[in-house]
Amino acid sequence: MSRLRCTVSHVLFLAILGCVGVINGLGVNWGTIASHPLPPEIVVQLMKDNGINKVKLFDTDKTVLDALAGSGIEVMVALPNVYLANMASPDKAKAWVKQNVTSYLGPKAVNITYVAIGNEPFLQGYNGSFVNVTFPALKNVQNALNDAGVGSKIKATVPCNADVYYSPWNNPAPSGGIFRPDIVSEMKKIVDFQDKNGAPFIVNIYPFISLYLGNGAFPTDYAFFDGISNPVKDNGRTYTNMFEANYDTLVAALDGVGHGNMTIMVGEMGWPTDGDVNANAKNAQKFYGGLLKNLGSKKGTPRRPGIDIEVYLFGLVDEDAKSLLPGTFERHWGIFSYDGQPKFPIDFSGQGKNKSAVPAKNVTYLPNSWCMLNPKAGDLSKLDDQIKAACEDADCTPLGFGSSCNGLDAAGNASYAFNAYYQLNYQTKCDFGGLGLVTKKNISQGTCKFNIQVDSHPASEAPAPAPAPAQVAASAPKQKGYKEPKSASSSSAGSSMAPFTFFSALAFGAVLDLVLFCR
């Protein structure tokens, strides 16, 4: 009788868990390039509260790994690109693995399952800098894991941008997918080695960037999952969204080098919420809603129907200190805002429910104090210089064309810039040549939120004094009608192959040559 009671209870528990859980294989990317990062223990609890049990990191930061210890969350740590060349030495690879992987196992109990070897090392924007050092690093790190006795559990793998494969002009469809000719020999070595060692192929796919780089040529509906009136037909297969077309282009490329059944994981996929006309919470909610329902249904893709696809959403929280080279949206990829608050409804279970994520708990903020343009300021001749100086250091991307604060007037733009700099510097600088004024009144306007920053200092640590703003800014707030120019090399992945077409957009859906610089 007791055994029956226990069994029934166990079944009920599993049923309840299934109702409140997340999609099998769903993870998140946790980036930490922020001026006021949330304490790692709060971020770990945020993931646990939302049922997220897989996380992908971009390094091996000790404070982050210590916070993950004992959580049970599956962790992918990373060897940054700058260390790839060093790993040509087997001894250095063993030392790195000992310090950054095996030292966190055992009593510390960080559940490390993968080691990412670099991040998108074959981006064409790197001009081949990492082409010859990636495979030796992969081989030596995996061998070091094997020698340490953990290679059966922890796999080394190279996260690639989707520009490593494409469909050529004479067969511009997913079934025509091949690896880039300039790296095909390296890709074959990598794929052979990873498949032999039981490691998946990791690719980063970004429908948003396809839309961003398409300059109106990319069909907007193909970035989402609601279907389209003119789906792509390819040898009896039908493609209604860019994700499936891009994924199957990779399947074809893998098949072409003898690994058509290799496991594929999507290492990054997401939608930003600010910094561009298409980057907003409404579109992000639509994108994630469609993606998660797609994954939850185990629909798979036309070439691989009925499979679970493991996807790491990009990203968990906003990072306000990331480079703007890829675009002014780059600081706004978070599903959660800088302080761990959900930006839009999202159902991690994939059931399509209109539900809110659980917000971060126990977040400590700076006092309720804002900096604004003094309405009584007389001489405004230096105002433009002060705004530019503030935005050189602080994040003013919401002021850009099509962004959340684009509708502010001139005084509002100045106040936003002043407050962003004031918060960045722990509310210690609001002079701006006599033009700034501290206020205790929340000066947010409509959809434009004037943030109070997270207090990320330990209680015993006083904020360091900040330097005065520089007089010249590379990233000034943009007035209405302005659109941030794209990097000259941002579309170079397809430049040597074929003119930009709809199919090349699918094949190069995640291309952004400078995207790694923000990691």
**pLDDT classification of 500: cutoffs 50, 70, 90:** very low
Measured at the alpha carbon of residue 305, what is the angle toward residues 303 and 308, in degrees to the nearest 5?
115
Same domain, 131 and 32: yes
Measured at the alpha carbon of residue 204, what is the angle toward residues 182 and 270, in degrees to the nearest 5?
150
Would you say residue 8 lies in a domain? no
Rounded Cα distance between 102 and 120, Å, is 24
Would you say residue 288 lies in a domain? yes
What is 58-105 written as a DSSP string?
SS--HHHHHHHTTS--EEEEEE-GGGTGGGGSHHHHHHHHHHHTGGGS
The predicted pLDDT at position 206 comes to 98
Quick check: 18 pLDDT over 50? no
**What is the rounded average pLDDT of the residues 356-376?**
98
The predicted pLDDT at position 179 comes to 99
Give the range of the structural domain holding residue 325, as residue numbers without chain letter: 21-362+491-518
Helix 131-147 × helix 90-100 angle, to 10°: 60
Instruction: Select which of 186, 268, 392, 484 is catalytic.
Output: 268
> How do beta strands 370-373 and 436-439 pair?
antiparallel
The predicted pLDDT at position 99 comes to 98
Same domain, 112 and 189: yes
pLDDT tens-place string over residues 300-324: 999 999 999 999 999 999 999 999 9
Quick check: 451 pLDDT over 50? yes
**What is the rounded average pLDDT of the residues 335-352?**
97
Same domain, 332 and 402: no
Same domain, 458 and 407: yes
Q: Bridge partners of 82?
A: none
pLDDT tens-place string over residues 176-216: 999 999 999 999 999 999 999 999 999 999 999 999 999 88
pLDDT tens-place string over residues 240-268: 999 999 999 999 999 999 999 999 999 99
Q: Are the CB atoms for 203 and 248 separated by under 8 Å?
A: no
Quick check: 433 pLDDT over 80? yes
Measured at the alpha carbon of residue 329, what is the angle toward residues 388 and 311, in degrees to the nearest 5?
155
Left if phi > 0, otherwise alpha if psi is -120 to 50, otherwise beta: which for 140? alpha
Same domain, 358 and 393: no
Quick check: 1 pLDDT over 60? no
DSSP, collapsed to helix, strand or coil, labels residue 6 as helix
DSSP, collapsed to helix, strand or coil, labels residue 11 as helix
Q: Are the CB atoms for 470 and 385 separated by under 8 Å?
A: no
Same domain, 185 and 40: yes
Helix 410-424 × helix 383-393 angle, to 10°: 40
**What is the rounded average pLDDT of the residues 339-359?**
96
Quick check: 432 pLDDT over 70? yes
Quick check: 513 pLDDT over 80? no
User: What does the chain come to in residues?
Assistant: 519
Same domain, 220 and 314: yes
pLDDT tens-place string over residues 472-482: 232 333 322 32
DSSP, collapsed to helix, strand or coil, labels residue 267 as strand
Which residues in 243-347 belong to E strands, given as ranges? 264-269, 310-313
Quick check: 496 pLDDT over 80? no
Q: E strand or H helix at 411, and its extent?
A: helix 410-424
**pLDDT classification of 22: cutoffs 50, 70, 90:** confident
**What is the rounded average pLDDT of the residues 100-120?**
94
Quick check: 487 pLDDT over 90? no
> How do beta strands 232-234 and 370-373 pair?
unpaired
The predicted pLDDT at position 287 comes to 98
DSSP classification of residue 208: H
Would you say residue 16 lies in a domain? no
Quick check: 489 pLDDT over 60? no
Rounded Cα distance between 241 and 426, Å, is 44
The predicted pLDDT at position 106 comes to 84
Same domain, 139 and 202: yes
Greatest CA separation found in the chain? 86
**What is the rounded average pLDDT of the residues 465-491?**
31
Q: How many domains does the chain have?
A: 2
Which residues in 83-235 belong to E strands, given as ranges? 111-117, 155-157, 159-161, 165-166, 178-179, 201-204, 232-234
Same domain, 328 and 391: no
Residue 516, C-beta contacts closer than 8 angstroms, at least 6 positions apart: 81, 119, 120, 123, 125, 126, 161
Rounded Cα distance between 501 and 334, Å, is 30
Rounded Cα distance between 216 and 242, Å, is 15
Same domain, 157 and 270: yes
Same domain, 337 and 304: yes
Amino acid at 177: G
Same domain, 502 and 432: no
Would you say residue 6 lies in a domain? no
Would you say residue 47 lies in a domain? yes
Nearest to 268 by CA among 352, 181, 197, 209: 209
pLDDT tens-place string over residues 28-47: 999 999 999 999 999 999 99
Q: Are the CB atoms for 206 and 270 separated by under 8 Å?
A: yes
**319 is known as an active-site residue:** no
**pLDDT classification of 107: cutoffs 50, 70, 90:** confident
**pLDDT classification of 19: cutoffs 50, 70, 90:** very low
pTM: 0.86
**268 is known as an active-site residue:** yes
**What is the rounded average pLDDT of the residues 398-421?**
97
Q: Bridge partners of 117?
A: 79
Residue 12, C-beta contacts closer than 8 angstroms, at least 6 positions apart: none
Token pair, residue 37, equals: 């990062």
Would you say residue 15 lies in a domain? no
Q: What percent of the chain has pLDDT over 90?
A: 80
Q: What percent of the chain has pLDDT over 70?
A: 84
Would you say residue 9 lies in a domain? no
CATH number, residue 144: 3.20.20.80
Looking at per-residue pLDDT, the higher value among 362 and 485 belongs to 362
Range picked from 125-129, 216-220, 313-317 for highest mean pLDDT: 313-317
Q: Are the CB atoms for 211 and 136 separated by under 8 Å?
A: no
Nearest to 467 by CA among 429, 437, 433, 415: 429
The predicted pLDDT at position 426 comes to 98
Q: Are the CB atoms for 357 and 431 separated by under 8 Å?
A: no
pLDDT tens-place string over residues 60-83: 999 999 999 999 999 999 999 999
DSSP, collapsed to helix, strand or coil, labels residue 10 as helix
**Cα 235 to the center of its chain, rounded Å:** 33
Q: Are the CB atoms for 172 and 503 separated by under 8 Å?
A: yes
**pLDDT classification of 490: cutoffs 50, 70, 90:** very low
